Amino acid sequence: MNIESSPSWDDTVLPFQLDRTATRGRVVRLCSALQRILVQHGYPRVVEALLAEATLLTALMGQAIKTRWKLSLQVRGDGPVRLIATDYYGPAEDGLPARLRAYAGFDEARLDADGDAFTQVGSGCLSIMIDQGCGTTPYQGITPLAGGSLAACAETYFAQSEQLPTRFVLAFG
Q: Where are the domains of the chain?
A: 28-162
Mean pLDDT, rounded, for 143-168: 88
The answer to whether the beta carbons of residues 84 and 104 sit under 8 Å apart is yes
For residue 104, give every residue at least 6 positions away whose Cβ sits within 8 Å of its Cβ, in sequence order, or none: 41, 43, 47, 50, 51, 81, 83, 84, 85
The answer to whether the beta carbons of residues 117 and 50 sit under 8 Å apart is yes
pLDDT in tens, 34-89: 888 889 989 999 999 999 999 999 998 888 877 778 999 999 999 999 999 999 99
pLDDT of residue 9: 64
The answer to whether the beta carbons of residues 85 and 40 sit under 8 Å apart is no
Q: Does residue 114 carry a pLDDT above 70?
A: yes
When pLDDT is cut at 50, 70 and 90, the band that residue 166 belongs to is confident
CATH for 28-162 (3.40.30.10, 3.40.1410.10, 3.55.30.10, 1.10.1060.10): 3.55.30.10
pTM of the model: 0.86
Q: Which range, of 12-21, 86-95, 146-155, averages the lowest pLDDT? A: 12-21
